[in-house]
Structure 1
Amino acid sequence: MTGEIDHSTHDAFDAAVRAVLAGYPGSVVLDLTAVPFISSEGASALVDAGQRAADAETRLTIKTSHTVWRRLELLGLTQIMDLTAVDPPPAGQAPAPAPGPA
């Protein structure tokens, strides 16, 4: 995925995630490392995807940029989702902690 996930793109993002989850049972890695921004609507689509994956007994792992990881952290989602920040934090900020066991 690339570009921002916001009000204007979250429906298409949600549809794409649904298609991926339907096509790859068992384990899915959602790569958001090229996403510079995610709105609360995009975060909501991630929560929905996490629930759909759990219902289908599919492991959903989400790789994010530090910026998106931080946004999801502020929304309280890093504690309930399998997230990994793959790029270094901006200068002067502490690195994102590794996610704990699920």
Structure 2
Amino acid sequence: MSKLIAALIAGLFAAGAYAQNPPGASSQEQVITNTKPQDRAQDKVDARPQGQVKKQGGDEPKSAQSDAIGTGKSAATGQARVDAREKKNPNKAPAKQGGTPDSPGAK
């Protein structure tokens, strides 16, 4: 009985190994897809100009995700509000950045 189970397990391992790749072919040699859309996509990739490297970005953020203030319409509106507030009260000191002044850790 144990020899039968051992032979069955060995057979399952052999069948599993055969199902992975046909003999004589590696996974790198097999074409994943050879459909028309895949061919068009590959032609599009091959048609891109080679050797051009994007210019390295400077220290100014170019996207809203990496910019804490923002670069769009909302940032301009906010800055306009700040300018109007400062124009209305020119002698008022700007607010301090920080926590609650009455808390014991603030002193």
Output the TM-score relative to the length of structure 2.
Answer: 0.20
Output the TM-score relative to the length of structure 1.
Answer: 0.21
Name the one with the larger strand percent: 1
Name the one with the larger helix percent: 2
Q: Which has the higher contact order (CA 8 A, sep 6+)?
A: 1
Larger radius of gyration: 2
